Amino acid sequence: MSSTPLDPRLRRLVRLGRTLSLVTLVVLLLLVASGLGIWLRPALVEQMVVPRLGLAGHRVSLDGASLCAGLVISAVPLGILAYGLLQVRQIFRDFGRGELISQTLAHRLERFGAAVAVQGLISPFVGAALSVALTLGNPPGERALAVSLSSHDVVAVIVGLLIIGVGAVMREAARIAEENASFV
């Protein structure tokens, strides 16, 4: 594909990149705001978080300390999510500038893959920490430690590693393209 500005395929990719950069930013802001905001509404925590942790039917403590701990614990994966989505946004911005293969783009892709893989790796630990935080205020004998490993966690690690691999291949392709361009 020609990389001249007149190439309609490149123009479409540039427009798509600009649009997806904006969409990614909006999604990022909504996910982080809702992920943290849920901890401000105990009813939402009980309705959405408790069942996902495997604590449905268990007594949970939704006092200020538990909700604050839940917010702090949730901030870790949300921070990783935000970092990964910022990398995706930058990739789309690169596309929006017509940059399709570069060392920088490859590095961003690898960082996104790392964020996806780390999300999958820490998910069971985050869930366990949240289960403790939400039951710590219970009397002895009613506290819980819920540990789970889902296929989603395993797939996230595998997909993250795949994305890292694709980034490494792109980095090599960018190196070869830069080398070839220096001959011309």
Q: What is the pLDDT of residue 4?
A: 52
Q: What is the pLDDT of residue 57?
A: 86
Assign 32 to helix, strand or coil.
helix
Can you tell me the distance from the alpha carbon of 123 to that of 81, in angstroms, rounded to the nearest whole number? Answer: 12
Can you tell me the distance from the alpha carbon of 91 to that of 80, in angstroms, rounded to the nearest whole number? Answer: 17
Of 127, 48, 116, 133, which Cα lies nearest the Cα of 81? 116
pLDDT in tens for each of the 184 residues of the chain? 445 555 888 889 999 999 999 999 999 999 999 999 999 999 999 999 999 999 988 899 999 999 999 999 999 999 999 999 999 999 999 999 999 899 999 999 999 999 999 999 999 999 999 999 999 999 999 999 999 999 999 999 999 999 999 999 999 999 998 888 888 6
Asked if 119 contacts 87 with a C-beta cutoff of 8 angstroms, the reply is: no
Rounded alpha-carbon distances, angstroms, from residue 130 to 11, 47, 72: 47, 15, 10
3-state secondary structure 123-184: HHHHHHHHHHHHHCCCCCCCCCCCCCCCHHHHHHHHHHHHHHHHHHHHHHHHHHHHHHHHHC
Q: What is the pLDDT of residue 1?
A: 45
pTM above 0.75, yes or no: yes
